[in-house]
Amino acid sequence: MNRQLLILLIGRIITNFADSFYMIATIWYVKSSTASPFLIGLTSAVAILPVTIQFLYGPIIDRFSKRKILYVAMLGQGILVSVISVLYFTNLLWLPLLFTLMFMALSLSECTYPTESALIESLTPYNQLTKVNSIFAFSYQTLDIICDAVSGILIAFIGLGLIYVTNSVLLIGTGMLFLFYLKVPRSKKETEVQTLSFIRQYKEDFKEGFMVVKKRHTLLSMMIGIVGMNVMATMGIAMLPVISDSSVEYGFWLTAISLGTLTGTILSSKVEKIALNRILPALSLWSGLFWLLAFVLIEVSIVPYMLFALSWIGIGILSIFVQTLIQVNIPKGYIGIGFAFISSLLGSLSPLGYILGGVIGEFTSGRYLLVISGIGYLIFAVYFLANPLLKKLNKPLSVSFEES
């Protein structure tokens, strides 16, 4: 990797470190304060809600300096988390206010993901995209494992307040890193002379980007199936804190997710040559079967954590494939808005999944809901094999199946 990709990677790792502790701390704060499955699900829903508005960032990402977008977003997020820290230490952290500040901070965070993906695409040769995406995912998911493994212990021994303070310092530090050291080439749209006002130019870029994404019929068919799969998965994930008797046990579930995802990231480049109409349904079946087994056998010592990790191997490979599919099938110059639109689509119903999980969790057991949620991966495999557009995808990952 070149120097700029390395700086981008370091920034992503630091941010991921901060985000992991921040989200775990917030969820555990809500559980310890309320013990309500609904409010725990609502917390996760608020956290994922900013994903649904990523499409609004698309025209800005493609038209303006990606370096400025990154450092402003990081600094803003760091300041907002600092406010949460102050409110926590002064016992003024009212839940509606916490949700509002969390939504604002994560809204800034969400604009960095399509921005970074656009930069990866512009700084990486096409035949190395899967490899570079895997390196990025592998690096910060390795750190995720450490964060998830020790998060429960840290919450128990050093407290939520110090975790919030540390997060704010890390986020502001990352903003400084991007401000002073990140140097990236300007895109064609950045160098164009703008003759329209910001609002009119935004509308023109938004409309143009929307039409580009709208024409990707096969890609969108695939993403719609993944949306349904995500809804069922998030219903179950919302229950992980509920079925955990302590923050340490919750950390074990998160560690299983991270270990599985990391392994999937490593393996993704090993299976990228297999035709999409074979590998994607197979990965979904793998993930669904091991997910179901994990919660059917939940009473058997450490076995559930091992099975859950195996499930997330398939999910980890799927996540790398989705990112690469977008990069390969969206034309150059529209990668930012393409990622923003499709990320919004993928996350559009996830908040509903978390809320439904919380509501249903009030009336049934979290274990039952987790068993049901694993079925979503099996349904996606059937959907893929039955969809006339998708079952014809006999090309490997790196070959575009959409017209330029």
| Of the ranges 11-20, 172-181, 193-202, 212-221, the best mean pLDDT one | 172-181
Digit-coded pLDDT (tens) for 63-78: 778 888 899 999 999 9
User: Is residue 265 one of the residues assigned to a domain?
Assistant: yes
Tell me the mean pLDDT in the region 379-400.
Answer: 89
Is residue 341 within 8 Å of residue 56, measured between CB atoms? no
Does residue 333 register a pLDDT over 80? no
b/e 131-169 (16+ beta carbons within 10 angstroms → b): bbbbbbbbbbbbbbbebbbebbebbeeeebebbbbbbbe
The answer to whether residue 57 scores a pLDDT higher than 60 is yes
Average predicted confidence (pLDDT) for the chain: 83
* Cα 22 to Cα 17: distance, rounded to the nearest angstrom: 9
CA separation (Å) from 309 to 288, 306, 363? Answer: 12, 5, 28
**How far, in Å, CA of 355 to CA of 42, rounded?**
5
pLDDT of 383 above 90: yes
Give residue-wise pLDDT tens across range 144-170: 666 666 666 777 677 778 888 888 998
Q: At what angle do helices 217-237 and 303-329 cross, to 10 degrees?
A: 160
Domain assignment present for residue 397? The answer is no
Q: Taking residues 194-204, what's their average pLDDT?
A: 71
122 in a structural domain: yes
For residue 272, the model assigns a pLDDT of: 87
Q: Is the pLDDT of residue 110 over 90?
A: no
Q: Residue 138 above 60 pLDDT?
A: yes
- Quote the domain boundaries for residue 359: 3-182+200-386
Q: Is 126 domain-assigned?
A: yes
* Alpha carbon distance 207, 371 (integer Å): 41
Residue type present at position 341: F
Q: Considering the domain boundaries, does residue 392 fall inside one?
A: no
Q: What is the pLDDT of residues 242-272, one digit of tens each?
A: 888 877 788 788 888 888 988 888 888 888 8
Alpha helix (H) residue ranges in 111-214: 112-123, 129-158, 160-181, 188-191, 198-214
Count of structural domains within the chain: 1
Reply yes or no on whether the pLDDT at 282 is more than 90. Answer: yes
Q: What is the CATH number for 51?
A: 1.20.1250.20
Could you give the C-alpha distances from 342 to 113, 125, 227, in angstroms and in order?
12, 22, 10
Torsion angle of the four alpha carbons 181, 183, 79, 47, in this order, in degrees rounded to the nearest 10: -120
Q: What is the predicted pLDDT for the residue at 78? A: 92
What is the average per-residue pLDDT within 271-298? 92
- Is residue 364 in a domain? yes
Does residue 194 sit within a domain?
A: no
Could you give phi then psi for residue 263, rounded to 5 degrees?
-60, -40
Give domain status of residue 394, yes or no.
Answer: no
Distance between CA atoms of residues 373 and 352, nearest Å = 13
